[in-house]
Amino acid sequence: MGVDVADEDGGEQQLPRREAVLQLLDTMVADRSRPSSAGAVVVVAIDDHARLVAEDAAGAEQVLCEVARRLDRLVRSNDVLGRLDEDRFVIVASGLAPEVTGSLLDRIAGSVAMPLDFDDSSVSLGATVGVAFLDGADADGSTLLAAAERDVERIRARRA
């Protein structure tokens, strides 16, 4: 896979992948004894990714890099943006309470839905956004990530 996002100096960087994200989540879970340890795991699944790849695999990767840049602009400095696989991103948002998450999810969906212009064409995307919250229950990073991914699948099933 190529570059996921440009950093603030105009350089290029790879986003953390699944294993690194799981380590971050495990750290967040371990720190939940602190009062400010509320947090959420947000999974952003790009809709119709298979269609994009079938039409133009190199173009699909360009599109996903632009989506990563857009998501990177939405996350706070203490949040972590990662890439789980070809069509899924994750945001680890520490200190994010459930009552304020709706606006973040709306901004994510809106950012992905904005048309992307490449060469002589424009691409419109959609995304399914799932979330899981760090609560008082015993959990680990894998459990939280799996819950957010199940939320994505639940939302997609409801749409079908």
Residue closest to 130 by CA, chosen among 111, 110, 154, 98 = 154
Q: Per-residue confidence at 2, pLDDT binned at 50, 70, 90?
A: very low
Section 27-51 average pLDDT: 79
CA distance 127 to 125: 7
What's at 34, amino acid-wise? R
Q: Who wins on pLDDT, 69 or 27?
A: 69
Residues in contact with 84: Cβ distance below 8 Å, sequence separation at least 6, in sequence order: 17, 18, 21, 43, 90, 145
Query: Can you give the pLDDT at residue 147?
Result: 94
Q: Per-residue confidence at 68, pLDDT binned at 50, 70, 90?
A: very high
pLDDT at 3 over 60: no
pLDDT at 136 over 70: no
Domains of the chain: 12-159 (3.30.70.270)
Classified as helix, coil or strand, 111 is helix
Q: Per-residue confidence at 36, pLDDT binned at 50, 70, 90?
A: low
Residue closest to 152 by CA, chosen among 103, 109, 107 = 109
Query: Can you give the pLDDT at residue 5?
Result: 55
